[in-house]
Amino acid sequence: MKTLKFAVLPGDYIGPEVMSVALDVLKAATEPAGIKLDYTEAHVGGAGIDNEGKALPDSTVKICEEADAILFGSIGGPKWENLPPAEQPERAALLPIRKHFSLFANLRPGLLYQELTDASPLKTERIPEGIDMVCVRELTGGIYFGPKHTKTLEDGDIQATDEMVYKKSEIERILDVAIATAKTRGNKICSVDKANVLTTSVLWRETATEYVAKHAPEIELTHMYVDNAAMQMARDPNQFDVIVTENMFGDIISDEMGIVCGSLGMLSSASLGTGKNSLDLPFGLYEPSGGTAPDIAGKGIANPCAQILSAALMLRHSFGENEIAEKIENAVKQAVMDDKRTGDIAFGKPSIGTKEMAAAIIERL
Ligand code: NAD
Ligand code: IPM
Ligand code: MN
């Protein structure tokens, strides 16, 4: 019997709510194929602080190191917002775990089924066939990880600094991922930067031009400034196929892509590096792109699809179970098409809760 060994880090607020039903879906999808799930749950984020005094407990890191993949919920929220910044869940757990496993490539599939165009804030005429694109976000560099400091100046004013830093090699390795992704799709990459202002973006643009021409001349590479890209995403998202961009631009653009595709609650993600797991497949962390949604937590109404689709990405990338991954993705699509929808994508239709949504997906596996 094949066994899938992974770490489960549910996190905070809606994290545990959507994680619990995503595990039910995973179980229901893998059982008929004779696959056993061998997962270990661990605290992370606020749950780490509350239970073990630390956002990223050493025991959690060890559980992740011993696993073949990490299924992650989301972390942070008002309860821990008043802690010193360095101790808060996002900075003390999420960024360090990405760095620890060198998960430099964050793939966020922007997918809106044709049958769900009414859930997008865009007019259906603009997206008659739905939306299908991927945002490839650099995840372990840039302003998130550059030097930071705050100091009091001689005149008593206070100055805070975050440096945006990129090495050419870091840009090249994320381009590799974008190229590989584009080759499975439309052979089109749009590199998003701010080369009219930022030095890192000048290097980014030069490197993208040179690297794609040298290693994948068949790919159509375009460049776009990030402000224009944000506007174009709302005007005509289907002009994009693969977007490749640095860490912070990718964070912002992908939330916009999420809502244009219906809801952040549908937006999954895979974070990959060069590390291999015990199956000689990519080790990865799989998490919804959105956050802990404190405004709706505890009500049983969060959309579990992003977590469920992230679990499907884990099956595909870290366990090579493409067929089961596809089965889950199709079941999600079918459920939504049958008007089984949580409030965030209901748009006037009757809405159901997190558990009912998962049950509807399981029924359609
Ligand atoms: P958010 O993504 O949590 O919520 C933004 C909006 O989207 C809210 O209205 C929320 O209700 C809605 N939303 C998000 N996910 C949803 C879902 N599954 N179903 C239905 N609606 C959903 O962003 P925020 O409010 O800015 O952040 C809340 C906390 O989450 C913060 O502490 C933030 O740092 C953290 N966060 C964590 C991660 C992560 O762990 N990967 C990602 C983003 C934000
Ligand atoms: C995301 C989140 C994180 C990020 C935060 C919570 C640190 O917004 O995964 O998109 O900015 O990377
Ligand atoms: Mn984000």
Query: Based on the structure, what is the number of domains in the chain?
Result: 2
> What are the tens digits of pLDDT across the range 112-145?
999 889 889 999 999 999 999 999 999 999 999 9
Same domain as 83, residue 8 = yes
CATH assignment of the domain containing 335: 3.40.718.10
CA distance 165 to 199: 9
Active-site residue flag, 144 = yes
Gyration radius from the chain CA atoms: 20
Q: Which of 18, 72, 292 to mutate to test the pocket of ligand 1 (most atoms within 8 A of CB)?
A: 292
Same domain as 128, residue 252 = yes
pTM of whole model > 0.90? yes
Give me the pLDDT at residue 116, please.
84
Kindly list the protein residues that place their beta carbon closer than 5 angstroms to ligand 3, a single-atom ion. 251
The domain boundary, picked from 260, 283, 305, lies at 260
Same domain as 218, residue 274 = no
User: What whole-number percentage of the chain has pLDDT above 90?
Assistant: 98
Specify whether the CB–CB gap between 137 and 251 falls below 8 A. Answer: yes
> What are the tens digits of pLDDT across the range 207-262?
999 999 999 999 999 999 999 999 999 999 999 999 999 999 999 999 999 999 99
Q: What ipTM was estimated for this complex? A: 0.99
Same domain as 270, residue 251 = no
Same domain as 331, residue 360 = yes
> What are the tens digits of pLDDT across the range 36-88?
999 999 999 999 999 999 999 999 999 999 999 999 999 999 999 999 999 99
269: β partners: none
The domain boundary, picked from 241, 260, 279, lies at 260
CA distance 183 to 186: 7
The domain boundary, picked from 260, 280, 311, lies at 260
Same domain as 160, residue 33 = no
Active-site residue flag, 251 = yes
Same domain as 256, residue 277 = no
Binding-site annotation: residue ranges: 77-90, 98, 108, 137, 227, 251, 255
> What are the tens digits of pLDDT across the range 261-313?
999 999 999 999 999 999 999 999 999 999 999 999 999 999 999 999 999 99
Same domain as 324, residue 232 = no
Q: In this structure, how many other beta carbons lie within 10 angstroms of the beta carbon of residue 71?
A: 26
> What are the tens digits of pLDDT across the range 349-361?
899 999 999 999 9
Full domain range(s) for residue 232? 121-260
Q: Does 148 map to a domain? A: yes
Split at pLDDT 50, 70, 90, the class of 206 is very high
Q: Does 113 map to a domain? A: no
Q: Does 159 map to a domain? A: yes
> What are the tens digits of pLDDT across the range 309-335?
999 999 999 999 999 999 999 999 999
Same domain as 139, residue 85 = no
**Atom of ligand 2 lying closest to residue 91 CA:** 7
